[in-house]
Structure 1
Amino acid sequence: MTLADHAFPAWAATPVATRAAALDRLADLIERDRETLMAICVQEARKTIPDALAEVREAVDFCRYYAAEARAKLVTTALPGPTGERNELSLHGRGVFACIAPWNFPLAIFLGQVSAALVAGNCVIAKPAPQTPRIAAAAVALAHEAGIPADVLHLVTGGGEVGDALVRDPRIAGVAFTGSTATARRIARALLDDESRPLVPLIAETGGINAMIVDSTALTEQVVQDVVTSAFRSAGQRCSALRLLLVQEDVAERTIAMLQGAMDTLVVGDPADPATDVGPVIDRAAFDRLESYAQGQKSRWLHRIKAPATGDFVAPTIIRLHSIAALDQEWFGPLLHVVTWPAGTLPEVIGAVNALGYGLTMGLHSRIAAVAQAVAAAAHVGNLYINRSMIGAVVGSQPFGGEGRSGTGFKAGGPHYLLRFVHERVVSTDTTSAGGNASLLSIEDVAGL
């Protein structure tokens, strides 16, 4: 912490172009080491090969996108004012940022947070999840190779006690966090406990009870494909993953029957096997929690496929619920809940989803444009996906982040994200004090100032 704090003034004074160039070099190095990084993701984070490849590509996208955004946005802006006055707005790094990343995207989200903070002129202490330290260490080593000074970017590893000590340090000028809503609340309280420390930003992206609404006009084949992708890819371990399928009663039987058949084609197994569709969950603790819940819901199962008997494999499962409100927490795995709704009650359905208090992602399948417009207007979610899957947000095209219990904003991978990492400062100058000749203000005085 002391090293980062001391390194901040020099790094903040480093030109934006220099900081952005380092991110571009980092992106090149990630591409150079793509296969090595993919292998670590498969071995350590238990990702399938397609997911590992997508992870590396997203990390590259974050680096290049934030580099381009910094060049365009982190510039001094002249503001309007009366004749004889000059007003300029400039953006400056805040200090030392704590970046606390999750295990489900241990390279992409990790580097997304870190690269944004760095290019904005901050030093960074980066803490990966305790399940995935190796991929974080590899990423930090590449960042140093790309030209980020070692004192500017530090890696710390450990569990919750390390993260707690980090965010409570009064020298921390901001926190970027991705994880559970409960942990985000603890961080927010910790940042306010010390009355003597400055007020600092918490940039939090948390979970969600993500729903997909399907009406009677939807194309069943497309619905099923998108449900399988959204609910079961990555073993359901995505913040954006589908948790609650809401199907209009008129098409529920047909949709569920086709979904059951599609699930039966999924291969659950070793993530290093190219044939695998669904790998294990992250660790034994996650397996125990998910499996205990699933077994407790056994009387409500509509379908469950086979999974290997050994290892932390949670079998993809459909669970019927009697109401939307019955799902009162996020289950971070391949468990899909289904509720049906009668025609004519779409506003009530949207209201019930909003009432859950989360607002990360939502899906809609309908061929009626007015329905899409109504859902877009009424749904309190950060990302609404219409007639497509609900996962795989693209950096720069689909900025990602929620509202309510699902996050604080601004959206990662979007045009406003970097602004959360900077101070805004305005300088207003009366140019008439130099006889109306503003150029005189640039002359150094005899004191050598």
Structure 2
Amino acid sequence: MHHVRSLAPSGPRGRRLSPGRSCHDGVLRRGGAEMQLTQTAGHFIAGEQRDSDGAELEVFRPESGEVLTKVPVGNADDVSVAVESAASGFRAWAARPPAEKESLLAAVARRIEEQADELAELERANTGKRLDVARDEVLAAAGLFSFYAGYPSKAFGDRIPIADPNILCYTVLEPLGVIAAITPWNYPLMIVAGKVAAALAAGCSVVVKPAPETPLTALELARIVSDCGLPDGALNVITGDGSTGEALAGHPGIAKVSFTGSTATGRKVIVTAGANGRPSTLELGGKSPNLVFGDVDLEKSIEPILMGALTNAGQECCAGARVLVEASALDRFIELAAERIEALRVGSGDDSEIGPLISRRQHDRVAGFVERAIADGATVRARADAPEEGFFYPPTLLTEVQEELEICREEIFGPVLTVDSFESDEEALRMANATRYGLA
């Protein structure tokens, strides 16, 4: 999912939590100037927090590298409990009249809006996003529930005309059952909200497995939906790692898997769910090109090009991180891009333009791409300054790249821009389409 916004901050928005006010019941508490750890979070199953006897995952604050809290790694038994709970919740939720479903989804939208400041604080702590950006994403999540609140009473089947006038032929739309929603870490609340709201609007129940890096707002959303009157079990959240997601996707009680994440993991989901004859809906990776022709106004184009590549620190499946420039404009483009990148404000404050990456692992992954590209002949033409603490990676402009290089072929998911040139429209189109990814 890709949201384009200016790199420059619009200024802090919304009120702060007052000292001592709970933001994630049992997980984070605002105490003075900082959100502080209170205790380990558990799964959310059948309308309540559930502990687990298994291993735990540390959840980090990306801007500092500090541990925020811990969450359990759901095992096969935990997954089975969640799916069984969802099956029970499905029966109760599917039986509710459309008007009641619409009313509940609309109530969730209002509750998210009412708690936008608290949710934004939680999202900021867990992702390192600027507070105003996190709040915009919270409001987008509310908008998704508001949108899908209009669907339940409009889930019509079709009347099919046939030759025999004495026979009535028609279709009826029925909810599929328990949906497994496996979500990524780049837009934690917003993507979870879209999957959950759509499934509930169709009358299905849901088991969410959020990314191990960013489970906190998914857990909080489950509490909100439950408080609005959803039957216990109709929405469950089970935290964990890849093994948890694999157990969920392969559980025979799942009717369908909705997955957003990497292409490699998506392939595994297809196989795992398919072994039970279950369908999957997948949103996977991308390697999007930006085409810059010689007659463009470069001074006006630089900002939106960098915006499309570096928004969310480049952690975008649609990031336009491959810039293909017509040869006649190449030198001027590099000059302007280098000047802007070197001036970028990288940090965690409300005046920052680029925030941290989500984890140390992701930081090291991005650094590895750049190091290998340099070893293969690429040149670093510009780099911004970045804080040493936390998971910040300096926005980087690479030139002298060859299109067959790994960094031009693989999804980086970091603030790295590669620049290559073309001579003709035909060459530009060939280079733009030279990708194995589905998203553009």
TM over 0.5: yes
Q: How many residues align?
A: 352
1:307 to 2:399 alignment: no
Kindly, what percent of the aligned residue pairs are identical? 32
Provide the rounded CA distance (Å) in 2 between the counterparts of 1:17 and 1:349.
Answer: 52
**For residue 327 of structure 2, what is the amino acid of its counterpart?**
E
Q: Please say if residues 180 and 206 of structure 1, whose CA atoms lie closer than 8 Å, have aligned partners that are also in contact.
A: yes
| Partner in structure 1 of residue 317 of structure 2 | 239
Using the TM superposition, give the Cα deviation of residue 257 of structure 1 relative to its aligned residue in structure 2, in angstroms: 1.1
Once the two structures are TM-superposed, the CA of residue 359 in structure 1 deviates from its matched residue by 2.8
Of 403, 419, 426 in structure 2, the residue corresponding to residue 347 of structure 1 is 426
Partner residue of 2:439 out of 360, 366, 370: 360
For the pair 1:216 / 2:294, whether they are aligned, the reply is yes
Q: Which structure 2 residues correspond to residues 106-117 of structure 1 after superposition, within 5 A?
A: 106-117=188-199
Amino acid at match of 2:370: A
Following the alignment from structure 2 to structure 1, what is the Cα–Cα distance between the partners of residues 344 and 319? 17
User: By how many angstroms is 1:254 displaced?
Assistant: 1.2
Instruction: Spell out the pairing of 1:259-278 with structure 2 (5 A cutoff).
Output: 259-270=337-348, 273-278=349-354
User: Cα distance, 1:79 vs. partner?
Assistant: 2.7
Q: Deviations over 1:260-304 (max 9, x none)?
A: 22223311011xx21111111001111111112223334521211
Separation (CA, whole Å) in 1 of partners of 2:419 and 2:298: 15
C-alpha displacement of 1:341: 0.6
Distance in 1 (CA, whole Å) between partners of 2:439 and 2:99 is 34
SS at match of 2:255: strand
1:259 aligned partner, one-letter code: A
Find the residue that maps to 2:133 and give its secondary structure.
Answer: helix
Shift of 1:99: 0.5
**Structure 2 residue 100 is matched with structure 1 residue 12:** no
Aligned position for 1:192: 274
Partner of 1:150: 232
- Cα gap change, 1:217 to 1:95, in 2 (>3 Å): same
The one-letter code of the counterpart of 1:186 is K
Partner amino acid, structure 1, of 2:393: V
Q: Any idea what SS the aligned residue of 1:275 has?
A: coil
Q: Does 1:334 align with 2:398?
A: no
1:202–1:318 distance in 2 versus 1, CA, 3 Å = same
1:39 has 2:121 as partner: yes
Q: Secondary structure at the match of 1:88?
A: coil
For 1:78, what is the secondary structure of its paired residue? coil
Q: CA RMSD in A?
A: 1.6
Q: Does 1:201 align with 2:279?
A: yes
Whichever structure has more helix as a proportion of its residues is 1
Q: Deviations over 1:217-255 (max 9, x none)?
A: 222123201112111121111112122001111111112
Distance 1:91 1:289 in 2: 45
Q: CA deviation at 1:168?
A: 1.1
**2:183 is matched with which residue: 101, 104, 119?**
101
- Out of 129, 142, 160, the position equivalent to 2:211 is 129
Aligned to 1:76: 157
Instruction: Name the aligned partner's letter for residue 330 of structure 2.
Output: A
Cα separation, 1, equivalents of 2:98 and 2:433? 41
Give the AA of the match of 2:352.
T
8 Å CA contact 2:257–2:273 kept in 1: the answer is no
Dislocated runs of 4+, deviation >4 Å:
none
* SS at structure 1 position matched to 2:282: strand
Q: 1:290, 1:283 → 2: CA distance?
A: 11
State the alpha-carbon separation in 2 of the partners of residues 252 and 114 from structure 1.
45
The normalised TM-score by structure 1 is 0.75
Alpha-carbon separation, structure 2, partners of 1:316 and 1:100: 29
Give the secondary-structure state (helix, strand or coil) at the position aligned to 1:330. Answer: coil
What is the alpha-carbon distance in structure 2 between the residues aligned to residue 280 and residue 39 of structure 1? 16
Q: Does 1:288 align with 2:364?
A: yes
The answer to whether the 8 Å contact 1:324/1:353 transfers is: no
Other structure's SS at 1:6 match: helix
Aligned to 2:24: none
The offset of 1:16, in angstroms, is: 2.5
Mapped contact 1:325–1:352 kept (Cα < 8 A): no
Q: Does residue 170 of the first structure (1) align with residue 266 of the second (2)?
A: no
* SS of alignment partner, residue 343 of structure 2: coil
Secondary structure at the counterpart of residue 297 of structure 1? helix
Aligned residue for 1:340, secondary structure, equals strand
Structure 1 residues 223 and 359: alpha-carbon distance in aligned structure 2, compared to 1, 3 A threshold: farther
